[in-house]
């Protein structure tokens, strides 16, 4: 058996199991999705949003990229954000990083990685802004993990800088924004930051005419 064929076999078994538990499972989901959460996570294969939160299909809208970034020129992220906030009307947006993130580690080196330099550049900017705090950590691992936490906070703040989130806060008092960091070594999510809807916005980034 080819290695990818195992995936298709597992899929058949999974679909059968779902139907045994709940005969309406697929027909119900095929017609409507009403997730309350948007998850912005790292592409890392060890951080599957639904597995680690025990959520089912239909419960979380997911966007993943290297190092869970919210880049204000990223059409992919912005499309997911607008659709989930304005159409799906999610109540919570979770930016979930993870300790030991390879993207953050790479951004802390002076090595060139090709195209991905452009992406990592956004993390280098976070490092530059918080250099003193990151460099005061006691060892290399602690430095990386400190930047991982600060990067998650920065990305949550980036969400609040968008007109999409500011408009929803003003007119609908949602979504609430959360910054979490997942531990690869223990499977536990560490909630480190929260911006409830209506939190003060840095005047540099505040839009008054939404
Ligand atoms: Co990562």
Q: Distance between CA 165 and CA 181 in Å, rounded?
A: 22
Ligand 1 center–CA 161 separation, angstroms: 23
Residue span(s) of the chain under CATH 3.40.1050.10 come to 34-199
Q: Per-residue pLDDT tens for 17-70?
A: 999 999 999 999 888 889 999 999 999 999 999 999 999 999 999 999 999 999
Ligand 1 center–CA 63 separation, angstroms: 13
Q: Distance between CA 72 and CA 93 in Å, rounded?
A: 16
> Domain 34-199 maps to which CATH number in 3.90.1150.10, 3.40.1050.10, 1.10.3720.10, 3.40.50.1000?
3.40.1050.10
Q: 1 pLDDT band (50/70/90 cuts)? A: confident
- Strand bridging mode 37-42 / 92-98: parallel
Judged against a pLDDT cut of 90, whether residue 124 lies above it is answered with yes
Residue found under tokens 């025990």? 54
CB atoms under 10 Å from CB of 121, counted, come to 11
Q: Per-residue pLDDT tens for 172-191?
A: 999 999 999 999 999 999 99
Q: Per-residue pLDDT tens for 76-121?
A: 999 999 999 999 999 999 999 999 999 999 999 999 999 999 999 9
Start-to-end CA span in the chain (Å): 57
Catalytic residues: 42, 44, 46, 98, 101
Q: Distance between CA 83 and CA 164 in Å, rounded?
A: 10
């Amino acid at each position: 058996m080819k290695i990818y064929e195992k995936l298709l076999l597992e899929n058949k078994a999974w679909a059968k199991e779902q139907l045994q538990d709940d005969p309406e499972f697929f027909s119900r989901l095929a017609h409507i999705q009403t997730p309350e959460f948007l998850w912005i996570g790292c592409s890392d294969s060890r951080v599957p949003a639904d597995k680690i939160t025990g959520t089912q299909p239909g419960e979380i809208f997911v966007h993943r990229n290297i190092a869970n970034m919210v880049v204000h020129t990223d059409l992919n992220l912005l499309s997911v954000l607008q659709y989930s906030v304005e159409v799906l009307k999610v109540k919570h947006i979770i930016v979930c990083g993870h300790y030991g993130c390879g993207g953050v580690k790479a951004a802390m080196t002076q090595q060139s990685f090709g195209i991905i330099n452009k992406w990592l550049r956004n993390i280098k900017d976070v490092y530059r802004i918080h250099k003193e705090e990151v460099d005061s950590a006691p060892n290399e691992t602690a430095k990386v993990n400190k930047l991982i936490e600060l990067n998650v906070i920065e990305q949550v703040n980036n969400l609040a800088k968008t007109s999409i989130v500011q408009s929803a806060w003003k007119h609908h008092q949602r979504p609430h924004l959360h910054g979490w960091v997942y531990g690869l070594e223990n499977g536990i999510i560490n909630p480190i930051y929260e911006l409830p809807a209506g939190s003060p916005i840095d005047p540099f980034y505040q839009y008054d005419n939404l």
